[in-house]
């Protein structure tokens, strides 16, 4: 159960930036297998953004974050739902090997320049440039 979305309230999303060897983990959903997003999801009622982040990563990828830190809040249109979204992005680290489960179709590691990979606009237009600026992805 996610928090109800109304036109006046942007869709709340918690998302993880997981980078290994200069590559960012992105996932696609079964509803849109050709479009890749940051892993994460919507908070359940009464759940903090951080709790949602941990729950979603465990449900969708079978991973537990060793630690996380807030990186940015991004306002954009949700690619799948087509509604305003406010995405809280957290940099995280895990010793676990992610494996797609729940509603996920696939996962990929990318430097953000793969010609055969379609990233959600918020990821390609805002997250990847921010990660390059902060030195988390190669420039």
Tell me, what CATH number does 105's domain have? 3.90.79.10
Compute the distance between CA of residue 66 and CA of residue 87 in angstroms, rounded to an integer.
21
User: Is 119 within a domain?
Assistant: yes
| Torsion, Cα of 40, 79, 72, 14 (10° steps) | -20
Q: Which residue has the tokens 């942007």?
A: 10
Q: Which residue has the tokens 């988390």?
A: 136
User: Is 4 within a domain?
Assistant: no
Q: What local confidence, expressed as pLDDT, does residue 80 receive?
A: 85
User: Is 24 within a domain?
Assistant: yes
User: Is 137 within a domain?
Assistant: no
Examine the pLDDT at 1 and tell me if it is beyond 50: no
Pairing of strands 11-17, 84-93: parallel
Q: Which two three-digit tokens encode residue 68?
A: 């996380």
Number of domains making up the chain:
1
User: Is 31 within a domain?
Assistant: yes
User: Is 13 within a domain?
Assistant: yes
**For residues 65-93, average pLDDT:** 95
**Cβ distance 50 to 43 under 8 Å?**
no
User: Is 2 within a domain?
Assistant: no
Domain residue limits at 47: 9-132
pLDDT digits (tens, 9 = 90+) for 10-46: 999 999 999 999 999 999 999 999 999 999 999 999 9
CA atoms within 13 A on the CB side of 32: 13
Q: What local confidence, expressed as pLDDT, does residue 6 receive?
A: 53
User: Is 139 within a domain?
Assistant: no
């Amino acid at each position: 159960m996610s928090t109800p979305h109304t036109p006046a309230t942007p869709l709340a999303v918690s998302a993880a930036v997981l980078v290994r060897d200069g590559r960012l983990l992105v996932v696609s959903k079964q509803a849109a297998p050709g479009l890749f997003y940051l892993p994460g999801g919507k908070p359940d009622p009464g759940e903090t953004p951080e709790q949602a982040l941990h729950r979603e990563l465990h449900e969708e990828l079978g991973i537990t974050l060793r630690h996380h830190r807030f990186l940015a809040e991004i306002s954009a249109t949700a690619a799948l739902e087509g509604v305003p979204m406010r995405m809280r992005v957290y940099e995280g680290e895990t010793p676990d090997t992610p494996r797609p489960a729940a509603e996920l179709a696939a996962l990929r590691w990318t430097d953000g320049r793969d010609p055969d990979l379609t990233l959600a606009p918020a990821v390609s237009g805002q997250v990847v440039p921010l990660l390059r600026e902060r030195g988390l992805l190669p420039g």
